[in-house]
A and B are shown apart, each in its own frame.
Chain A
Amino acid sequence: MVRYITSKFLYMLVSLLILITATFFLMKAIPGNPFMSEKQVPPQIRERLMEQYGLDKPVIVQYGQYLKNIAQGDFGISMKMQNKEVTGLITDTFGASLKLGLVAIVVSLVVGVLLGLLAALYHRRLIDNVAMVLAVLGIAVPSFVVASMLQFVFAQKAGIFNVMGFNGPLDYVLPVAALAAQPIAFIARLTRSSMLEVLHADYIKTARAKGLNWMTILFRHVVRNGILPVITYLGPMTANIITGSVVIEQIFGIGGLGKVFVSSISNRDYTLIMGVTIFYGVILMLARFLTDIAYVFVDPRIKLTNRKEG
């Protein structure tokens, strides 16, 4: 286990380095720079600025300098928002995104698993059909369409919620619904098919032959085995929700990290783009990693070992 974790950690560092490198050069390939604005700035001032941020040097030198800085934990200061540190900007705004994301993850899991379980238990009956139609819709319709429709129906027409803003608990409802729609749909389908398989498994017959009552069988034998594939999906789901939040925060005017990310790109705010990318990268890798660990606890057949040889 310890060896597994350390080796996994090393792999994560390597992927992170690749991520940083790719982002850095792609970012530099975009035309323009932070100080090209519509306002005419005298060339001297611009040169002065470029010099101050080291942008006058060759790209490869900048890259080396950047790596050196982040190795020391220095992510620099924003090039657009003066005197704001990148780390500060991330920690300030990530709170809102985290709250939104966590609620969306929990809602996706609970609703998705419940829907899938009900669909499996009432296989080929009304609940099943309704759940699966919803699931197909959820997978097919992109989250920004869902978001706009929710805004239109529940905020604009019915007036139950605010169209935008992120202040009270009620403000969570629409963004969470928009974010969770796709994961719910996916989890529901995943759960349904795996529960159906488990319900017909021989060991369920064994459990019934022992004289256990149906509720015991359902919770002790069916759900635990049927939930395994959902755990595999936890990693990708986190990715889904995080990338989804970039769009959703914009639509609902939530001042989260997603919003910062989008504006940093349009501003060519180099240090901020890098900082947020690295931050997202780390979160996604951690999510995958935790998924692997979680699997060990639920499925005893899986043991974490290093398989370097073979």
Chain B
Amino acid sequence: MESILEVKDLHVSFSVRGGEVKAVRGVNFTVGKGETVAIVGESGSGKSVTAQTIMRLIPSPPSKIKQGQVIFNGEDLLSKTNKQMEAIRGKDIGMIFQDPMTSLNPTIKVGKQITEGLIKHQNLSFAEAKTRGVEMLKLVGIKNAEARFNQYPHEFSGGMRQRVMIAIALACRPSLLIADEPTTALDVTIQAQIINVMKDMQERFGTSIIMITHDLGVVAGMADRVIVMYAGEVVETGTSMEIFKNPQHPYTRGLLRSLPRIDQRKDEPLVPIIGTPPDLIKPPVGCPFAARCDHAMKVCERIDPDPTHLSDTHMSRCWLQHPMAQEVQSS
């Protein structure tokens, strides 16, 4: 598949009072044309930082891109000037955020917030942009779009606002949409609707999607491929099939095991992953998951494993999958 985005060996740090938080530590992945890639991981795993670095939206200082490349359509976004990035944001890459209640400007009409980008990137007149804006509102499933166009965000519900966010992000038909936990702040029935809207829009425009989430249900419903992040590293990647049916990394397995099941008895306790992620000011020299891992060996604490490729698409970064490791029984 033709790739549209390639993140290569990305390192991002934040300077804080106590030193430097190494939030992203050598992340590699690609996104193909029209593909949906989900990045999953717990809070602090570096998934949001990765996404915002692609858009160059994290403020610097305090953040700093230490090394790496973000190749988008053959060009490295990290070497672009701010001015060049402005021409790419919103036009070639759109982004939606976690909390639709706060992501829209409360004092500007929804319609104007959609047309802003159109007028800037496509040199449309306001009338032309309005036609396009109303059309976008209809596409994301907002009824009575002409009237809604002239309303303010506080006249919309949470789910409706997230639809508006999708309309804003996709107004200029970008080839890549980054969705940073788009369903986290919504209730479950609305989550499903928003995912359907995104899928529908993807089919219509052929947009590639990077979906950042910690909700594995969302991943299963949407993603072609999954990237599992932990402590700033990619610990496992694979197609959705591979990750859900044949997870290899103990962290991925732990995540899947901790999901509550619908057939579970009420008195049966949930299975958590014991412990907390390591402090990224001083990341461990070995595998960052070693301290929480049931299968940790001596080598895990000393040397961070290299990626092991299990198939063309499936990669796991764990000593257990290392060719020299013994076969372990999956738990």
Binding site for B on A (CB under 8 A): 201-203, 205-214, 216, 220-221, 224-225, 228, 298-301
Contact of B108 among A201, A205, A213, A220 (CB under 8 A): A220
Chain A residue at smallest Cβ distance from B88: A211
Q: Are B105 and A209 in contact (CB under 8 A)?
A: no
Query: Contacts A208-B57, A210-B90 hold; do A221 and B108 have CB atoms under 8 A apart?
Result: yes
Shortest Cβ gap from A213 to chain B (Å): 5
Q: Is B165 an interface residue (CB 8 A)?
A: yes
Query: Contacts A202-B99, A206-B97, A301-B152 hold; do A212 and B106 have CB atoms under 8 A apart?
Result: no
Q: Are B103 and A206 in contact (CB under 8 A)?
A: yes
Q: Are B89 and A211 in contact (CB under 8 A)?
A: yes
Q: Are B57 and A206 in contact (CB under 8 A)?
A: no
**Range, interface on chain B:** 20 to 34
What string of 1s and 0s marks CB contacts (under 8 Å) between B72-91 and chain A?
A: 00000000001101111111
Alpha-carbon gap, A211 to B57, bound state (A): 10
19 pairs of residues in contact across A and B, judged by CB atoms under 8 Å: A202-B97, A202-B99, A206-B103, A206-B104, A207-B105, A209-B90, A209-B94, A210-B168, A211-B85, A211-B88, A211-B91, A212-B90, A213-B83, A213-B86, A224-B108, A299-B107, A300-B107, A300-B109, A300-B152
Give the residues in chain A near B109, CB-CB below 8 Å: 300
Shortest Cβ gap from A223 to chain B (Å): 11
Query: Contacts A210-B117, A301-B106 hold; do A205 and B57 have CB atoms under 8 A apart?
Result: yes
Chain B residue at smallest Cβ distance from A301: B154
Q: Is the interface of A mostly helix, strand, loop or mixed?
A: helix
Q: Is B246 an interface residue (CB 8 A)?
A: no
Shortest Cβ gap from A258 to chain B (Å): 37
Chain B residue at smallest Cβ distance from A225: B107
Give the residues in chain B near A224, CB-CB below 8 Å: 107-108
Q: Is B120 an interface residue (CB 8 A)?
A: yes
Give the residues in chain B near A221, CB-CB below 8 Å: 105, 108
Give the residues in chain B near A208, CB-CB below 8 Å: 57, 89
What string of 1s and 0s marks CB contacts (under 8 Å) between B151-167 and chain A?
A: 01010000000000100
Give the residues in chain A near B168, CB-CB below 8 Å: 206, 210
Shortest Cβ gap from A207 to chain B (Å): 7
Alpha-carbon gap, A203 to B99, bound state (A): 10
Query: Contacts A298-B107, A300-B154 hold; do A209 and B89 have CB atoms under 8 A apart?
Result: yes
Query: Contacts A225-B105, A301-B106 hold; do A206 and B165 have CB atoms under 8 A apart?
Result: yes
Query: Contacts A220-B108, A224-B107, A298-B107 hold; do A210 and B89 have CB atoms under 8 A apart?
Result: yes
Give the residues in chain A near B88, CB-CB below 8 Å: 211
Alpha-carbon gap, A201 to B97, bound state (A): 12
Most buried by B among A202, A205, A210: A210
Binding site for A on B (CB under 8 A): 55, 57, 82-83, 85-91, 94-95, 97, 99, 102-109, 113, 116-117, 120-121, 152, 154, 165, 168-169
Q: Are B102 and A203 in contact (CB under 8 A)?
A: yes
Q: Are B104 and A203 in contact (CB under 8 A)?
A: yes
Q: Is the interface of B mostly helix, strand, loop or mixed?
A: mixed
Chain A residue at smallest Cβ distance from B95: A209
Alpha-carbon gap, A300 to B155, bound state (A): 10
Alpha-carbon gap, A207 to B102, bound state (A): 12
Alpha-carbon gap, A221 to B105, bound state (A): 7
Shortest Cβ gap from A170 to chain B (Å): 40
Q: Are B97 and A210 in contact (CB under 8 A)?
A: no
Shortest Cβ gap from B53 to chain A (Å): 13
Alpha-carbon gap, A298 to B152, bound state (A): 12
Shortest Cβ gap from B15 to chain A (Å): 14
Alpha-carbon gap, A225 to B121, bound state (A): 25
Q: Are A212 and B97 in contact (CB under 8 A)?
A: no
A-B complex: 7 closest residue pairs judged by Cβ atoms: A211-B90, A211-B89, A210-B90, A210-B117, A202-B102, A209-B95, A203-B105
Shortest Cβ gap from B175 to chain A (Å): 14
Shortest Cβ gap from B152 to chain A (Å): 4
Q: Are B121 and A211 in contact (CB under 8 A)?
A: yes
Most buried by A among B91, B103, B105, B120: B105
Most buried by A among B83, B103, B104, B120: B103
Chain A residue at smallest Cβ distance from B152: A300
Q: Are A209 and B120 in contact (CB under 8 A)?
A: no
Chain B residue at smallest Cβ distance from A201: B102
Alpha-carbon gap, A203 to B154, bound state (A): 13
Chain B residue at smallest Cβ distance from A208: B57
Alpha-carbon gap, A206 to B95, bound state (A): 8
Contact of B117 among A201, A205, A212, A300 (CB under 8 A): A212
Alpha-carbon gap, A208 to B90, bound state (A): 8
Alpha-carbon gap, A156 to B55, bound state (A): 59
Q: Are A210 and B107 in contact (CB under 8 A)?
A: no
Shortest Cβ gap from B320 to chain A (Å): 40
Q: Are B86 and A212 in contact (CB under 8 A)?
A: yes
Contact of B120 among A211, A225, A298 (CB under 8 A): A211
Alpha-carbon gap, A228 to B105, bound state (A): 13
Give the residues in chain B near A214, CB-CB below 8 Å: 82
Contact of B106 among A203, A210, A216, A220 (CB under 8 A): A203
